[in-house]
């Protein structure tokens, strides 16, 4: 059931059906809350929906486990920029 929701959410995200993707990914993470791929996809959805603080929270948690993951850090920096936190964005990128 977890994988069904995860893959369905990824497909919906790819089709720019962000609200539906959000529901599927949240359902997946209700089953396996620590799944990094699911968290990453959900953060992308939150970013697209303009829910930047939620995306930041996820990206900060993911950064603890993968502190040098470039894509993660760039996405986190973009969220910081969208919320007017240019200093934090710069720190994430350095």
CA dihedral 40, 41, 46, 52 (to 10 degrees): 20
* Chain centroid to CA 90: 19
Give the count of beta carbons closer than 10 Å to the beta carbon of residue 48. 15
| Nearest in space to 75 (alpha carbons), one of 49, 39, 43, 27 | 43
What is the pTM assigned to this prediction? 0.91
Hey, what are 74's tokens? Answer: 């760039």
User: Tens digits of per-residue pLDDT, 15-74?
Assistant: 999 999 999 999 999 999 999 999 999 999 999 999 999 999 999 999 999 988 999 999
């Amino acid at each position: 059931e977890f994988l069904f929701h995860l893959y369905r959410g990824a497909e919906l995200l790819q089709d720019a059906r962000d609200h539906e993707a959000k529901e599927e990914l949240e359902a997946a993470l209700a089953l396996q809350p620590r799944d990094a791929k699911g968290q990453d996809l959900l953060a992308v959805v939150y970013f697209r929906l303009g829910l930047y603080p939620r995306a930041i929270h996820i990206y900060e948690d993911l950064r603890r486990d993968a502190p040098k993951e470039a894509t993660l850090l760039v996405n986190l920096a973009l969220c910081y920029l969208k919320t007017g936190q240019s200093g934090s964005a710069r720190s994430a990128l350095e």
